[in-house]
Structure 1
Amino acid sequence: MAKNQTIDKNAYHHGDLRAELLRAAETVLSENGIEAFSLRAVAKRAGVSHGAPAHHFNDVKGLLTALATIGYERFIETQNARQRNADTDPRAQLAASGLGYIDFALENPALFQLMFSSQKPDKSDSSLAAVADAAFEKLVDDVGNVHQSNPHENPAMMQDVMAAWAIVHGMADLMIAGRTGRALPFGNMDDSQRDATLSDLILRSIGE
């Protein structure tokens, strides 16, 4: 190696710098919120040069788009995990998927907001669009399994899809904000009582 040749230590600091930057980005998002999110803060958190995030993601929008994409992947897996532990009856599966939705939101409120409420990610990005569509189609399939029909072919049934989505997403938002206590004191319930109450609300969307 020539004497004047230098090595960017940050380039070799992590075995997978892109994954490390995404982990750092999620921490910064959680701590600082979307509006205060910056590439510089992510680089500092990851312990790398200020240019490293831009090298991998181009700009803030690129990084937040990638973060929202992996957020949807984890979101779907959280729903799947609930369903694996639930009864195989279609109604129980629909309720379990909704509980997984709420689980993810409560465990990852800043990421949840980025995915569903923020305009910062590039919604036209193919990877983000594909996984967001997969999350929606999962809901469509779960409702369709209850009715044993395809909601895409039945406008009335698609109303059930939207009703289920509205109930679950609305509950997630209200629980994150701590606004449910006057109507439903979840803080006074154990996990099984909370899940039973939420499942009952979810199934009301399909007339149960």
Structure 2
Amino acid sequence: MDAAVAAIEESGPSGWSLRELARRAGVSHAAPAHHFGDKTGLLTALAAEGFDLLSSALTAAGDDLLDLGVAYVRFAAEHRAYFEVMFRPELYRADDPDLDAARTRTGGLLDRAVRPLSPGPGPEPDPDSVLAAWSIAHGFAGLWLSGALPPELGSDPEAAARPVLGKLFAGS
């Protein structure tokens, strides 16, 4: 997995082979196929691990939507290889039970934080509010990773994200 993360950081999620990963990891060329089946299996495991890492980062951030949004951006910046795979379902087996469970845990954290913004007395958050919050944090993270944001925002993704996300998330 570490070799896959390094390869993705260097050449993206599709610019390497299992044979190359085996060489990097110092194992037989058959070892990755034995453990993961194929490249898709490896990327599925990587996406599941990424959602688990993101879930941990969001849990550590607490219940405040702004803090969760900033933690989301920080995760993307610190775990770029995972982030590049997690939201590209064409790269992995989206129906994998471990991946689905990890993705569901992560989504539940966002749902809980968005609930105060949702209209109505029910226990479920408004799906549009959840999608809006995720889209804003994910969009900022993607812009940060692509280098498309103005240079005056500086080099700290958390410091750059907080005032921007705060325009919409503050007081949630």
Q: TM-score, normalised by structure 2?
A: 0.87
How many equivalent residue pairs?
A: 170
Query: Does the Cα contact within 8 Å between 2:73 and 2:158 map onto a contact in 1?
Result: no
- 5+ residue gaps, structure 1, are 1-21, 84-89
CA–CA distance in 2 between the matches of 1:66 and 1:138? 21
Mapping of residues 28-107 of structure 1, within 5 Å: 28-83=7-62, 93-107=64-78
Alpha-carbon distance change, 53 to 202 in structure 1, aligned in 2, over 3 angstroms: farther
Change in Cα spacing, 1:109 to 1:193, as seen in structure 2 (3 Å) is: closer
SS in 1 for 2:98: helix
In structure 2, runs of 5+ residues without a counterpart are none
- Quickly say closer, same or farther: Cα 1:149–1:199, change in 2 above 3 A: farther
Deviations 1:152-190 (A, max 9, x none): 5xxxx22111111111111111111111217xx3117x7
| 1:109 alignment partner AA | R
Partner of 1:131: 102
Specify which structure has the bigger relative contact order, considering alpha-carbon pairs within 8 angstroms and separated by 6 or more residues: 2
RMSD: 2.4
Aligned equivalents of 1:76, 1:94: Cα separation in 2? 14
Aligned to 1:120: 91
**Displacement, 1:82?**
2.6
Task: Decide whether aligned partners of structure 1 residues 192 and 24 sit closer, same or farther in structure 2, where only a CA change above 3 A counts.
Answer: closer
Q: Which has the larger radius of gyration?
A: 1
Does residue 1:197 correspond to 2:156, yes or no?
Answer: no
Q: Relative to structure 1, is the Cα distance of residues 37 and 192 closer, same or farther in structure 2, using a 3 angstrom cutoff?
A: closer
Alignment of 1:168-179 (within 5 A): 168-179=137-148
- State how far apart, in whole Å, the 2-side matches of 1:108 and 1:29 are: 11
Report how far residue 27 of structure 1 moved.
1.2
Q: Which amino acid aligns with 1:200?
A: G
Q: Does 1:151 align with 2:124?
A: yes
Shift of 1:101: 0.6
TM-score (norm 1): 0.73
